[in-house]
Structure 1
């Protein structure tokens, strides 16, 4: 396959190493995966094209990206330390809590300000992910945002 459709994810799977959580967390994970598969740009550097299947797993606090073609042929495996994301994910969760609290009690202006901060932290995490994938996997910013959302949901225990 060539063109835009060749460089995309057609499936994302969470390995058993990720662990399972509450029904609410599982729902958020499913939504994050759906959004990612629905619209993405994913290009393993040096590979002629997919579409691709991505299997995510955790090994020694590292996120493993196992990439295969739709037919199952292995393409690449990349391992990312989650350490660069810890502060960002913690900040993101904290501001999300503030946002959900503000929805109940704050003015629309205050809610909007908190939401802008939330988006800013999310963008920082997305850019960090793009930087960490540089030279391994090319993604556009929206795909990085969706992958960062998935990384956040993987940290969320409910």
Structure 2
């Protein structure tokens, strides 16, 4: 990517729909870290809008659908993509279960047990991230690290909703 592309094919702000309510402190921490990391380093380009960023992203859940509302840094709307949550249901459910086990383990388990659960958690997170990247294909170009951070935010919305 040239200097101009790296300046424009990126997110400068990410917002989660707050109407679904707040989550537990562990989950809110995950949200804050994911948004910080995402804004610090990402590759994000709506297909067909080359060189017109940087962008702002608002992620919400509407009628059991995932909504990505993209605007320019100035606030001008670019595009809104709506994705079915159906392909994510099983992986998000499994991810929630293993995260609950992980949070419980860090309070009482051995380091070896925590590491084993964390490996499973990361594997599921990678699987969900790849699924999100695939579902965005042809709509929004993202790299895998950006997809990982976005998947974390999708999970946070689920946890709240």
Normalising by structure 1, what TM-score?
0.89
What is the rounded CA distance, in whole Å, between the counterparts of 1:96 and 1:60 in structure 2? 25
Q: Is the partner of 1:2 in helix, strand or coil?
A: helix
Q: Distance in 2 between matches of 1:101 and 1:22?
A: 16
Could you tell me how far 1:15 is from its partner in structure 2? 3.5
Equivalenced residues, count: 157
1:58 aligns with 2:61: yes
Which residue matches 1:20?
A: 21
**Equivalent residue number for residue 29 of structure 1:** 31
Partner of 1:80: 83
Q: Residue 35 of structure 1: CA displacement?
A: 2.0
Q: Does 1:103 align with 2:119?
A: no
Identify the range of structure 1 (145-154 vs 103-112) with the bigger mean alpha-carbon deviation.
103-112
Compute the displacement of 1:22 (Å).
4.5
CA RMSD of aligned residues (A): 2.0
Deviation at 1:6, TM superposition (A): 0.9
Q: CA-to-partner distance for each residue in 1:45-75, whole Å, 9 max, x for gaps?
A: 1112200011222221111111111112222
Unpaired segments ≥5 residues, structure 1? none
Change (3 A) 1:31 1:70: same
Q: Against the structure 1 CA distance between its residues 107 and 22, is the aligned structure 2 distance closer, same or farther, given a 3 Å change threshold? A: closer
Q: Which runs of 5+ in 2 are unaligned?
A: none
Bigger drift between 80-89 and 122-131 goes to: 80-89
> CA offset at residue 27 of structure 1?
4.6
Q: Which segment drifts farther, 107-116 or 58-67?
A: 107-116
TM-score by length of 2: 0.87
2-side partners of 1:23 and 1:108: how far apart? 24
Distance 1:108 1:125 in 2: 25
Other-structure match for 1:8: 10
3-state SS of paired residue (1:115) = helix
Q: 1:133 to 1:72 in 2, by over 3 A?
A: same
- Structure 1 segments of 4+ aligned residues over 3 angstroms from their partners: 25-28
Matched-pair contact (CA < 8 Å) for 1:20–1:26: no
Post-superposition offset of 1:125: 0.3
Alignment partner of 2:117 out of 96, 114, 117: 114
